[in-house]
């Protein structure tokens, strides 16, 4: 497995062959690349994501301002184009939606770790 921004230049150069993308839906940048779920593993989804976070206790007005500014940048045409060119799909959103997303991802991967019996050495 490799991250899209790192792998796709190698795919385009003929040095790697892309088999599938790990997101739930096909990439808008690479629409001919099937998902892992379409390729025979129903329900499979593994995404690369990043987020801006602030320390606990940061005043809500500061969080709101940071969120507005970062969302604004993510919605700029040039920023979106550059991120999309890198194979990323910028999302943005509210602090609450990010919190929900992180809780869901944590729960999903906790289940994987628990079901597989993975233990920390």
Token pair of 109 as six digits:
């991967």
Return phi, psi of residue 90, to 5°: -65, 140
Q: What is the pTM of this model?
A: 0.78
Q: Which of 43, 21, 37 is closest to 108 using CA atoms? A: 43
Cα 20–chain centre separation:
16
**pLDDT tens, residue by residue, 63-75:** 999 999 999 999 9
Statement: 1-48 belongs to CATH 3.40.190.10: yes
**pLDDT tens, residue by residue, 6-45:** 898 899 999 999 999 999 999 888 899 999 999 999 999 9
Ordered by start, the domain boundaries in the chain are 1-48, 50-99
SS3 content of the chain, % helix, strand, coil (to 5): 45, 0, 55
């Amino acid at each position: 497995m490799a991250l899209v921004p790192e792998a796709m230049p190698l795919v385009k150069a003929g040095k790697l062959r892309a088999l599938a993308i790990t997101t739930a839906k096909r990439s808008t940048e690479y629409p001919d690349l099937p998902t892992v779920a379409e390729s025979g593993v129903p329900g499979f989804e593994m995404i690369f994501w990043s987020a801006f976070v602030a320390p606990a206790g940061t005043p809500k007005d500061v969080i709101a301002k940071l969120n507005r500014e970062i969302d604004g940048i993510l919605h700029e045409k040039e920023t979106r184009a550059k991120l999309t060119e890198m194979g990323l799909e910028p999302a943005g959103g509210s602090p609450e939606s990010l919190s929900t997303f992180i809780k869901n991802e944590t729960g999903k991967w906790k289940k994987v770790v628990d079901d597989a019996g993975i233990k920390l050495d």
